[in-house]
Amino acid sequence: MNKRRVVITGIGAITPIGTGREGLWQGLQAHRSAVGALTRFDPSVFRSHNAAEVRDVNAADHLEARRAKRLDRFGQFSVAAARLALDDSAIDLAREDRERIGAMMGTALGGVGYAEEQLGVFLRDGVRAVDATLALAVFGGASSCNIAIEFGVQGPNSTNAMSCASGTIAIGDAFRQVRDGYADVMIAGGAEAPLAPLCFGAFAIIRAMSTRNDDPLRASRPFDRDRDGFVMGEGAAVLILEERDRALARGAPIYAELLGFAQTNDAHHMTAPRPDGAQAARAMRLALADAEVSPGEIGYVNAHASSTPLNDPTETLAIRQVLGVHAARIPVSGTKGYYGHALGASGAIEAAICALALQREWLPPTVNLDVPDETCDLLHVTGTGAAARVDHVISNSFGFGGINAALVMRRA
């Protein structure tokens, strides 16, 4: 089967640092964190008190009011980000064969936060007070299914729940659908709304999150010597993936070309990465092979860089294994210091960042990286970022359960 070329023609983002393509970009260029004291509920019972919240988005701005009321926050994020991406791509769905357009999304927790809220309603007011659409709102597939319903797209549809690699895997799987001819356009990304007591507390209990409660702006600090865990975030990002020739024919904006994708599994531990980084490195190598790109052609790595004591040095080891002698000259940044770790949405947010970095020739910095850990000896982008015209980038996402995923993109 001939492999078709796949390009990114639309970007929709709802993040703590900004909404839409330009909101995300402006947030990156502000060079500051959006982490603050958690306000959605009182977190004082837990060790960690900080989060990166989306504060400036009214779902009604992107959805019909009636529709917005039928969706929980996770669902609203999904559909709103998809609308932003479709608008950005300038696709006229009324003129398209919607059987050739699909939706693939990723989420670690889906609507679990809303289920938790409704449990409180049940315990307080009884079963008749529970939202009648609860079952339809909380399952992970509500993300891609609600996107399909909202826009009438009838092609391939799925939502994966592969922890913090979910968004990257959704984009990778959607890339293959277009490349291999099963669809012409795919709406792909990730969404997460985990800021509810039980969801948040579960990560606090296993001591995965930062306890820098007195200095939230500096709590998420990838690769830094003083990092002490990730900061939970929320949000969504959606990309429009399109077969290149049809995108060119309709004069679509092209941000970048997707070239390769791969995923592996550590088969080691549910929370700790495999210490030798072998399977994380293998995911990167397989993605490069899929893209037919050599390690020396990579110009930038957007790292998973969760700001946890174990992940950052293990990822460093994996990057060094893959890039070899080139690692000393290839810039690397971890952007979660800006917007926290939005679990299954993070990889999609970072894929959007990579596409924009290629188009606009600027690499975002790792904020809060004051003193790099000696075990994280890479060429880190710091300060106010770096102007750079690069041809190829690789974006990594790693998740609980030992999930490893990588995407390779090329400048359009």
Choosing from 49, 62, 304, 380, the catalytic residue is 304
Residue 57: the pLDDT is 77
Regions of the chain where pLDDT drops below 70 = 1, 59-60
Residue 332: the pLDDT is 98
Per-position b or e across 76-103, b if 16+ CB within 10 A of its CB: bbbbbbbbbbbebbebeeeebeeebbbb
Q: pLDDT tens, 293-304?
A: 999 999 999 999
Which run of H or E residues covers position 136? Answer: helix 134-138
Query: Would you state the CATH architecture of domain 261-411?
Result: 3-Layer(aba) Sandwich (3.40)
Beta strands in 140-213 (DSSP E): 157-160, 185-192
Residue 1: the pLDDT is 59
Choosing from 341, 354, 376, 380, the catalytic residue is 341
126, exposed or middle or buried, with CB in 10 Å at 0-12, 13-18, 19+?
exposed
Residue 307: the pLDDT is 98
Q: pLDDT tens, 83-140?
A: 999 999 999 999 999 999 999 999 999 999 999 999 999 999 999 999 999 998 899 9
Q: CB–CB of 28/338 below 8 Å?
A: yes
Q: CB–CB of 393/408 below 8 Å?
A: yes
Domain range summary for the chain, segments of one domain joined by +: 6-249, 261-411
145 part of the active site: no
Choosing from 49, 62, 145, 164, the catalytic residue is 164
Domains 6-249 and 261-411 share a fold: yes
392 part of the active site: no
The fold for domain 6-249 equals: Peroxisomal Thiolase; Chain A, domain 1 (3.40.47)
341 part of the active site: yes
Look at strands 50-51 and 36-37 and give their pairing.
Answer: antiparallel
